A and B are shown apart, each in its own frame.
Chain A
Amino acid sequence: MASAAQSRIKSISYAKYGYMFIAPFFLVYCFFQIWPLIYTFILSFKGNQSGNADFVGLDNYTTILFGQGMAAGADNTRQEFLQALGNTFVLWFGNFIPQILLSLLLAVWFTDAKVKLPGKGFFKIVMYMPNIITAASVAALYVNLFGDSEYYFVNSLIANMGGDAIKFVSDPTISKGMVMFIQTWLWFGNTMIMLMSGIMGISPSLFEAADIDGANSTQQFFTITLPLLQPIMVYTLVTSMIGGLQMFDLPYLYHSGANFSRNLETVAVYIYYNFNKGTVEQANYGYAGAASIIIFAITAVLGSITFYMNRDKDEIAKKQQRKRAEKQQKARMKQGGGLTI
């Protein structure tokens, strides 16, 4: 019954349209992302400041990682970079742990059918809100609320209660704690909603069966929710780590202007400081490039972990199933053999 038109259409090759539809993406991506990435790679092998045209081999890497090299102040450069790397991990760790615990707890509570919680929708909306606010404005707001002296909101409250002013902004340790707190404040709502949709994807019959078997909610959490939530937890972990590696707005602005210090300097801030220094002859494109490539390498490792997990899961499941079936068959044969004895 296929009409002439239909069979003609089947014979036409539409491949060229496929290329046309995806061409804009690849052109723009190569021009604005791939080439800058390659260029950064090239810059990482070139000199800094006025020597930015000379190739220096691996000097930038050995300088920022081991403090070797001919450049003056090589050891300072190394210390600064390693401190930035350390800060990045400390700040990330310090916001990820409270964030994931809080989000997990809230997600479990919000999806628990037995708990009667009026205004659930309202709570979700309010808890997600910080995530959409401009990070630059959040930094400005917290600096203005938590300023060091009693001329700022929080310290004024503390002074009214008879306490001493706390240096929320300038103290190296307390300011790190503040950034961790703000980062948690910004992201816990987002993580909570992601985990909630993960939990809601778990078949309710599992929970019902556990209920009938008399498992309490703690047991249900550790034996059903947590194991089945593992893929999405890993996803959250990796995206958060990659996000943590690019942490910029908050640590940079929290210690900028009159409050300038390097206590909160992350790798992203380090890269920015090095390439954003006046003219090309004043900027350290070499160090910035080397630091960027190191971050890229870390991201690539983390990214391939999730990539691997996302891609091969079905395959792995199938393989396991096949193996299990084989085993069962073997066991059955053995059993059959056993009967004859």
Chain B
Amino acid sequence: MSMKQQYGAQKDSYHTQIMIKSTIIMIVCIILTLICLVPIFILLVNATHSHTELAENPSQLWFGSALKENLNILLNKLPDDAGKAVTRVARQYSSVFSVGRGYFNSLIIAGCTTVLTVFFSAMTSYGLTVYDFKVKGPAYTFIIAVMMIPVQVSSAGFVRFMYSLGLINNFIPLIIPAIAAPAVIFFMKSYMKSSFPLEIVEAARIDGCGEFRTFVTIALPMMKPAMAVQAIFAFVANWNNYYTQNMILKNDKMMTVPIMVSKVLQFDKNVNYGVNYLCIMLSILPIVVVYFILSKFIIAGVALGGVKE
């Protein structure tokens, strides 16, 4: 009993200390959460207000009722009695920000690049893990060495080369290079090293399975976790890739979502605040929805990338 009396006070002060610390951390976290979410929330709110409402009071804090109106302007589906000014605005926005086409183009590019990146990176890392050949060591060293070369460094030569090949306004220069993704290979190779037993390949050989078939039917399914993580990151990176797409795609018909947003941002007349916000909202909506569905998985993937000894 005396022990309890003696140590009780100390224990209590320890507990209050922890309590105070936890509360401070909680408050900081809530503030940071607000900083992360408020811009997105305001974006959603403002997308539901008309230009007139936003011009009168730009700091709207709750949802309005003009989402449909803004959408109609963006899709250029105005009623017949619409004024000249609105018609001009609608024509300007719909000529640049064509929702369906933008989603379609971005989806094609991001989808194809993801499949190519994941498949060929798995294949390269399989080749480097399973087989023994002379240039194996130097090849892997090369892949690690070029991992950090930024695209900007070669972009002047890249664009001029694509001009000379006539591949401007073509998806090929955006999709095919995805076959070579050094960072993904690095990740997959370390995954294979830790969780792909080479005996399986030998067993398959004894059973008469061809090398390529072994890779497709045995190795690929075993690498699913690593491939899934890399697929998500590849998809997001390519959906968001403004730099390369903006250099290669000059034609209105080939625009992707990031390019369309940048065009809307660059309007200097007939600007409609509500439609501006709607465009931005539509550009981030798919990726944010997918993010919240897969968030746990994505966070785990980022953490995995952080484990570099």
Using CB atoms and an 8 Å cutoff, list the residues of chain A in contact with chain B. Answer: 3, 5-6, 9, 14-22, 24-26, 28-29, 32-33, 35-43, 106, 109, 114-117, 119, 121-130, 132-137, 139-145, 150-157, 160, 185, 189-190, 193-198, 201, 231-232, 235, 238-239, 242-243, 245-246, 248-249, 253, 256-258, 267-268, 271-272, 274-276, 280, 285, 288-289, 292-293, 295-296, 299, 302-303, 306-307, 310, 313
A258 and B268 within 8 A (CB):
yes
- Listed residue (B58, B259, B262) with the most chain A CB atoms within 10 angstroms of its CB: B58
Chain B residues whose CB sits within 8 angstroms of the CB of A40 once the complex forms = 153-158
19 further A-B contacts with Cβ under 8 Å, apart from A136-B265, A140-B262, are A15-B133, A25-B121, A28-B180, A29-B182, A40-B155, A109-B28, A115-B18, A134-B284, A136-B262, A198-B307, A201-B307, A242-B150, A256-B266, A257-B266, A258-B266, A275-B155, A275-B159, A292-B156, A295-B152
Chain A residues whose CB sits within 8 angstroms of the CB of B36 once the complex forms = 126-127, 129-130, 185, 189
B295 and A25 within 8 A (CB):
no
B177 within 8 A of A: yes
Q: A137 CA to B266 CA in the complex, in Å?
A: 12
B132 and A15 within 8 A (CB):
yes
Nearest chain A residue, comparing its CB with the CB of B33: A126
The smallest C-beta distance from B31 to any residue of chain A, in angstroms, reads 11
B299 and A134 within 8 A (CB):
no
Chain B residues whose CB sits within 8 angstroms of the CB of A299 once the complex forms = 148-150, 153
Q: A293 CA to B309 CA in the complex, in Å?
A: 31
Which of the residues A21, A117, A155, A288 comes within 8 Å of B25, measured between beta carbons? A117
- Which of B37-45, B67-75, B85-93, B220-228 touches A? B37-45
Which of the residues A42, A136, A190 comes within 8 Å of B242, measured between beta carbons? A136
The smallest C-beta distance from B42 to any residue of chain A, in angstroms, reads 6
A17 and B265 within 8 A (CB):
no
A134 and B306 within 8 A (CB):
no
B146 and A29 within 8 A (CB):
yes
Given known contacts A15-B133, A32-B180, A193-B299, is B268 in contact with A257 (CB within 8 Å)?
Answer: yes
The smallest C-beta distance from A41 to any residue of chain B, in angstroms, reads 8
Chain A residues whose CB sits within 8 angstroms of the CB of B292 once the complex forms = 125
Q: A139 CA to B265 CA in the complex, in Å?
A: 9
Interface 1/0 per residue, B130-170 and A, CB below 8 Å: 11111110010001111111111111111111010000000
Chain A residues whose CB sits within 8 angstroms of the CB of B242 once the complex forms = 134-136, 248-249, 253
Where chain B touches its partner, the secondary structure class is: helix
A127 and B306 within 8 A (CB):
no
B152 and A15 within 8 A (CB):
no
- Which of B1-9, B76-84, B275-283 touches A? B275-283
Chain A residues whose CB sits within 8 angstroms of the CB of B156 once the complex forms = 40, 43, 271, 274-275, 285, 288-289, 292
15 A-B pairs with CB atoms under 8 Å apart are: A9-B205, A36-B161, A40-B157, A115-B18, A116-B18, A132-B288, A137-B261, A140-B262, A141-B280, A144-B276, A150-B58, A152-B58, A185-B36, A193-B302, A243-B150
Q: List 10 tightest A-B contacts by C-beta distance, closest first.
A: A21-B127, A257-B266, A18-B131, A39-B157, A40-B157, A194-B306, A258-B268, A29-B180, A197-B306, A36-B158
Given known contacts A9-B205, A126-B36, A132-B236, is B159 in contact with A25 (CB within 8 Å)?
Answer: no
CB contacts between A and B, total, < 8 Å: 327
Q: A303 CA to B139 CA in the complex, in Å?
A: 17
Nearest chain A residue, comparing its CB with the CB of B149: A299
Q: A21 CA to B188 CA in the complex, in Å?
A: 14
Q: A133 CA to B150 CA in the complex, in Å?
A: 20
Q: A258 CA to B156 CA in the complex, in Å?
A: 26
Nearest chain A residue, comparing its CB with the CB of B287: A132
Nearest chain A residue, comparing its CB with the CB of B282: A137
A128 and B152 within 8 A (CB):
no
B55 within 8 A of A: yes
A125 and B295 within 8 A (CB):
yes
Interface residues on B, range: 35 or more
Q: A36 CA to B151 CA in the complex, in Å?
A: 10
B258 and A137 within 8 A (CB):
yes
Nearest chain A residue, comparing its CB with the CB of B148: A303
A256 and B139 within 8 A (CB):
no
Chain B residues whose CB sits within 8 angstroms of the CB of A197 once the complex forms = 303-304, 306-307
Chain A residues whose CB sits within 8 angstroms of the CB of B21 once the complex forms = 115
B218 within 8 A of A: no
Which of the residues A17, A33, A114, A231 comes within 8 Å of B154, measured between beta carbons? A33
Which of the residues B39, B124, B295 comes within 8 Å of A24, measured between beta carbons? B124
B215 and A21 within 8 A (CB):
yes
Given known contacts A28-B176, A201-B307, is B159 in contact with A276 (CB within 8 Å)?
Answer: yes
Nearest chain A residue, comparing its CB with the CB of B57: A156
Given known contacts A125-B299, A194-B306, is B240 in contact with A5 (CB within 8 Å)?
Answer: no
The smallest C-beta distance from B202 to any residue of chain A, in angstroms, reads 7
B149 and A296 within 8 A (CB):
yes
B26 within 8 A of A: yes
B280 and A140 within 8 A (CB):
yes
Q: A239 CA to B148 CA in the complex, in Å?
A: 8
The smallest C-beta distance from A235 to any residue of chain B, in angstroms, reads 6
Nearest chain B residue, comparing its CB with the CB of A144: B276
Given known contacts A24-B123, A33-B180, A136-B262, is B161 in contact with A307 (CB within 8 Å)?
Answer: no
Chain B residues whose CB sits within 8 angstroms of the CB of A253 once the complex forms = 242, 262, 265
